[in-house]
Chains A and B, each alone.
Chain A
Amino acid sequence: MISLAFILKFIVAAVGAGTPLLFGTVGEIMSEKVGHLNLGVEGMMSVGAVAGFAAGYATGNLACAMVFAFLAGMLSALIYAVLTVSFMANQNVIGLTLTIFGIGFANFVGVYMIGRTGTNNWQLPANLIEQMKNVDIPFLSDIPVLGKLLFSYDPFTYVGIAIALACGWYLFRTKAGLNAQAIGENPAAADAASIRVTKWKYINILLGGGICGIGGAYCSMVINGGVWISDCVGGLGWISVALVIFAAWKPQMAILGSFVFGALRILKYYMPAVIPIAFFNMLPFVITAIVLLAASIRGAKGSHIPENLGNNYFREER
């Protein structure tokens, strides 16, 4: 029989597995909303991963690690923004290159640091690992079922949900956010309505990169228990790109979506061994492909994809 405790354990594990996806997805939504398909999520997450890990290693402070991961992610997004917004280079090519560059950079620094520690092991200090443990709030976490369901995750999860809610509020409830969305739909019209196209593109892309960076820090710091491992992002950035479609370009939906995809990621450990593991690994991509297809078959009405996604804007060619 499947017990309540088992279901609870599964949900808690799914949320944890979905947390890095949440950051990547929300970050990518920010960028895609202004019409810039950034395929560099995996790379930005990798850069954030190594920066966050290094900052945590040096300071032993979780907040400091997150801030540095955010800044590093932003910095890598800046490369993308300069080249695609200002220099109007092909977004797909730059994004892919950013991914290759970012992963290479992170692994390179990681190998270099492992060589320098002298222990063949680049490891976070114990007091930092303590900070990353699942929270345990007195009374609240002790409530049966609900306490476990709501108050038993690590700090990253709560930061991620807060960021997702904030981005949702920004994009759909503030004037600046609606303007940003207008840019993704029709930059020429937005420009004519005196929206500062370039400025808001930069702001959104950089914020998106920063958010991805924190997701990367989760991958490097939490997933492997505080030990640096090469390729620690391991494709989660690509799943995030897929998840944007599943979440219909809505940050609030991304919360739900990332936990669903998190559940898909861990499902293989809970299922009988008859079903091949490849099937579970493939599932997020198959589901995304189906969602993408279904949205396009339904036509413009059902599709939330920004109209000018992937197209650069050159003012003199309106």
Chain B
Amino acid sequence: MGTAKKEPLLRVVKHAELSTRQSIGLRVLAVVLALAVGGLFIALIGYNPFEIYATIVSGCFRSPMAIQATVKFCIPMCISALGVTLAFKMRFWNIGGEGQLIMGAVFASFFALFCSGMPHLLLLAVMFIAGFVGGGLWGLIPAACREKWGTNETLFTLMLNYIALYIVTFLRDGPWRDPEAAGFNKIARFAPKAMLDKVFGVHAGWIVMLILVVLVFLYLKKTKQGYEIGVVGESRDTARYAGINVRRVVLRTMFLSGGIAGIGGMVQATGSDITLSAGVAGGVGFTGIIIAWLAQLNPFVALIVSFAFSILVKGSSVVQSAYGLSTDCADILQGIILFFIMAMEFFIRYKLVFRGHREKLPVKTAADTDAASGEKEAEEK
């Protein structure tokens, strides 16, 4: 506003990109601050924060069984974060990881319940593909509508989450109801043949997770398709001028994004729950979004963040049994950590200039703009 009489008290300007070490340092600082605020809260209600934090961490590693439980929490979170990563890289705000995960589980469960005559490995392979296709199709619907009519994908994927959830309760109460279940409705436990094998005490989903981390990383970094995702995310117009078929990239990527979440659902149903329950996703699709964003859409970092989150989840259940505090403190801590890191992201990219403070204006470099556009929402319409 060049015509303003007064210069604003505070202005926001970009500053030159920080070195990797500086920016990692600031993020670590953000986590420390978040833990301090969480600790303050714990102290306020009359507990020793250091004791509680120590219990959270030690509770996860005190026995091989505890470690296995922690890893088990990590698997669906990480896989759904990977799915979201692909979509978000394209600036397609896929909030539907939850629904895609559920539909993957539904498709896979169909084969577990009704085609369990197949040999074990073949059955698992079929279920794996079914989970991928189920989640993929559930991701494809909002993508197709968005490409055809410009339907807002955030809101549409959100609706699809709940539609998927109630499809499960419908199946549970009706067609797929276990006739032997007494009292309340549930879906039958899978036959042993449809169960994911255990490797080192944890279901094989963790191997699937690790493979997916590597695959998604290579796909984004090393393949032409992965490159196209990045270009479409930066600017649809640029992509179009460069001869990229934007519509095809969006549809393909959303199928993959949903498909990966669907694999997460299949793994959770056959490895952990051994049945299809309404809580198969249980908010993991939403947590996955937070993880992907915290990891700055880097698959390897997502793995680390997922593990850190699963420590919080598992650790807080230990805190519950030891101190009688609710497990919800995991959610509170996750929230505080994300709030602090997001605030810190701002200071990594921008600085505040006070009124009257004169200095040479920062020169916008290409790298600078790159970094900033990560923050700015893309123009989509």
Q: Which chain A residues have a beta carbon within 8 Å of chain B's beta carbons? A: 37, 39, 79, 82-83, 86-94, 96-105, 107-108, 110-112, 115, 191-192, 194, 235, 238, 241-242, 245, 276-279, 281-282, 285-286, 288-289, 292-293, 296-297, 299, 305, 307, 309-312, 314-317
* Contact A112 B325, beta carbon cutoff 8 Å: yes
Please pick, from B95, B335, B377, the residue contacting A100 in the complex, using a CB distance under 8 A. B335
Known: A108-B329, A293-B151. Is A97-B335 also a contact (CB below 8 A)?
yes
Given contacts A289-B156, A312-B376, 17 further A-B contacts (CB under 8 A): A79-B339, A83-B342, A89-B343, A89-B346, A93-B289, A100-B290, A100-B334, A104-B335, A241-B155, A277-B173, A278-B166, A286-B159, A296-B150, A305-B152, A310-B154, A310-B377, A314-B372
Closest chain B residue to A114, Cβ basis: B326
CB distance from B321 to the nearest CB of A (A): 13
* Contact A105 B376, beta carbon cutoff 8 Å: no
Which residues from A are CB-within-8-Å of B334?
97, 100-101, 104
* Contact A108 B379, beta carbon cutoff 8 Å: no
A-B contact count (CB 8 A): 175
Which residues from B are CB-within-8-Å of A103?
328, 331
Known: A39-B95, A87-B346. Is A115-B324 also a contact (CB below 8 A)?
yes
Which residues from B are CB-within-8-Å of A192?
1
* Contact B170 A94, beta carbon cutoff 8 Å: no
Which residues from B are CB-within-8-Å of A288?
159
* Contact B152 A93, beta carbon cutoff 8 Å: no
CB distance from A213 to the nearest CB of B (A): 17
Is B61 on the interface with A (CB-CB < 8 A)? no
**9 A-B pairs closest in CB distance:** A101-B335, A104-B331, A278-B170, A111-B326, A282-B166, A87-B346, A296-B151, A104-B328, A289-B159
Query: Per-residue 0/1 for B114-154: is the Cβ within 8 Å of any A Cβ (1 yes, 0 no)?
Result: 00000000000000000000000000000001000111101
**Distance A104 CA – B326 CA, assembled complex (angstroms):** 9
Which residues from B are CB-within-8-Å of A98?
335
**Distance A92 CA – B375 CA, assembled complex (angstroms):** 12
Query: Per-residue 0/1 for B42-75: is the Cβ within 8 Å of any A Cβ (1 yes, 0 no)?
Result: 0001000000000000000000000000000000
Q: Which chain B residues have a beta carbon within 8 Å of chain A's beta carbons? A: 1, 4, 12-14, 45, 93, 95, 145, 149-152, 154-156, 158-160, 162-163, 166-167, 169-170, 173-174, 283, 286-287, 289-290, 293, 324-326, 328-332, 334-336, 338-339, 342-343, 345-346, 372, 375-377, 379, 381
* Contact A286 B170, beta carbon cutoff 8 Å: no
**Distance A309 CA – B169 CA, assembled complex (angstroms):** 33
CB distance from B106 to the nearest CB of A (A): 13
Which residues from B are CB-within-8-Å of A89?
342-343, 345-346, 375
Which residues from A are CB-within-8-Å of B160?
289
**Distance A79 CA – B332 CA, assembled complex (angstroms):** 13
**Distance A86 CA – B352 CA, assembled complex (angstroms):** 11
**Distance A94 CA – B151 CA, assembled complex (angstroms):** 22
* Contact A285 B159, beta carbon cutoff 8 Å: yes
Which residues from A are CB-within-8-Å of B154?
37, 39, 92, 310
Which residues from A are CB-within-8-Å of B174?
276, 278
Which residues from A are CB-within-8-Å of B345?
87, 89
* Contact A111 B328, beta carbon cutoff 8 Å: yes
